[in-house]
Structure 1
């Protein structure tokens, strides 16, 4: 492992994260939802180690027109839309502008839903303990959108779980999630990728393969 990196790759990071999530092992009410694409190899290792089901929760940021890096909300799996009303009012963003951005992002969300899930319906999270897993957190904007979108679906508990994150972002998320697990909080924290020896982009095919393997593993354990 190279100097400065904490994990060889996402799979090793997932194993490390699973070690601090042991309280959720073998529970019938627990579901791991990984954020594609980089969160899926991490979530796979967590789900296999805890012997609980794995699925994906797809989140697409709604960027402000002309300032796309600035989020005015997000859409997520299950037809959920979350809007930041303060941003909308501050920048005087019209409903028509929001709809135009949402339509474009909805197309990509549906593409990924079809590619990753096929005909399988999204999992029912109502009343369940949901572990939302990603490969790391810098600003935490995607995880925040996922938490807010999931909250609408009334799970019993939302756990934001990552192998690596900035301490500040983890603290911020504690105002939104019921439980936040950040396995490592190195400082100074610049970017997630700096803590991985291999941070190559996860492919769509890898996501599909890991989801299929996780379904077989869950079936073997009767989960």
Structure 2
């Protein structure tokens, strides 16, 4: 297990490095590591990682509320790369009880945190408990409020426990959206067809909408809530206390 000192050394080593260098280091250091897949950035990471190591582990959160286009996108990626994608689903009993009590759209009235907690955070927590490290597609410019201070590699404070230290890599941290899409075009990487309909940041269907020209990409997520907290809990460590 890596110590905090090791992490600080690694942060210094990977500071401002390009995504391939960060990915290569992550896959060298950890065998029990996985890529979290949901959007365009994550497929770029899969594309890069497969050139380094063929046996990469990939998982995705199936909340049960995704767009039809997103399900088709998942299948497109699975077939394109000939990889297994593990779909993580909510605890059935907890979800049944929640929907029975609050209905299907409670988040419009009392916020998205409870629904995201059941459909996304709990399944992710179950998965991460069995990993030593994970790789995300977070970028600084995705959120001026919550993603400006994240490093290339960190101890995941949201999902680490006293018994289990989890390391988190963010290889695309310093890339812009334009760089991601340049890569997608250059290497013919599959992408979600919703991007052609004005969607930039894509989550669950009831909580995501297309954005207007020059609107920030996260403004299409949970648009009925205050702009400073556009995190579902997967990256809860980003939120300022």
TM bucket (normalised to shorter chain) is: 0.3 to 0.5
Richer in helix (by share): 2
- Normalising by the residue count of structure 1, what TM-score does the alignment of the two structures yield? 0.37
Richer in strand (by share): 1
